Amino acid sequence: MQYTNLGRTGLSVSRLCLGTMNFGPLTTEPDSYAIMDKALELDINFFDTANVYGWKFGEGVTEQIVGRWFAQGGGRREKVVLATKVYNKMAEWPNGRGLSALHIKQAVEASLRRLKTDYIDLYQMHHVDRSVPWEEIWQAMEQLVQQGKVLYVGSSNFAGWHITQANYIAMQRHFMGLVSEQSLYNLNARMIELEVIPACKALGLGLIPWSPLAGGLLGGALQKAAAGRRANENAQKAVEKNRTKLEAYEAYCKVLGEAPADVALAWLLHNPVVTAPIIGPRTLEQMTGSLRALDLKLSEETLKKLDEIWPGPGGAAPEAYAW
């Protein structure tokens, strides 16, 4: 396994992050345990979850599964860099969601109980909350850090200016602020190259891409369809919308002699701002199949060809749309 520091921190994390969103809804608890055990066996030490995962309102199903796995002992908790999230609605009362100091306090205590741990390595804001001043958010986060309940703070789904604003105010308070941003990023979704990636680079945030295979679109969708493997209706629509690109992409991957999923992950890993793409396996086979990307080095010619097939916004702003 390869490791890197999470942004500007001294925290060492694996170059692949195990996403747990499927644990509960699509993957049984015993199978989830097997996947997490295998991840540790493969030296993947970075696990990502969220209080809302499991999709049973207010229950935190996925966090509970991870917590029961930790409770088996064997150094499981100590070996894992644990990331979870706060923001989404977890209760019916008015303060049951968002980033108010009250909800942050209630949400972190609930996550700690479910996860059966006394600290969270990376506590991520799942979405920006425009209704709450940064002074309130940072005061709440500072208290959690002082109490040892949270070690680092990250963001998810923030715009570039949100990251900049948040860290500017954190700096005024002599607080470390955001150390990572978790964004939608893959060959077919490159909008963050305009401003989010430049903000992360300038301010020392590690980028944690979610949906690195575009919901399976970049994982050999045409090959799977030809083999008779069905996809849901939304996935089928995405394939039809991008069929011309997918035909060119999968044909080029065949020329390279590499699986489309491996090329897509390797493309993310070549970006120095990227810390670790989130792989969200439903099965052991899907997880172990991601490891090839770590050793796959893409040539300049290959990177240029991928840009031709999956064009981005033109680079960073403002040059992408101005002079």
Q: Which two tokens stand for residue 132?
A: 């709450």
Q: Which pairing describes strands 46-48 and 17-19: parallel, antiparallel, or unpaired?
A: parallel
* Burial class (CB within 10 angstroms; exposed 0-12, middle 13-18, buried 19+) of 119: middle
Residues 269, 293: Cα–Cα separation, whole Å: 8
Residue type, 294: L
Find, among 90, 156, 78, the residue nearest to 118 by Cα: 78
Phi and psi at residue 83, in whole multiples of 5°? -120, 130
- Answer yes or no: 53 catalytic: yes
For tokens 């200016």, name the residue: 161
Q: Give the list of residues 6+ apart from residue 202 with CB closer than 8 angstroms, or none.
A: none
Cβ neighbours around 44 below 10 Å, total = 26
Q: Which helix (H) or strand (E) holds 41?
A: helix 29-41
Q: Which two tokens stand for residue 76?
A: 């499981």
Cβ neighbours around 266 below 10 Å, total = 21
- Of 33, 53, 123, 185, catalytic: 53
Instruction: Determine the 3-state secondary structure of 127 from DSSP.
Output: coil
Active site residues: 53
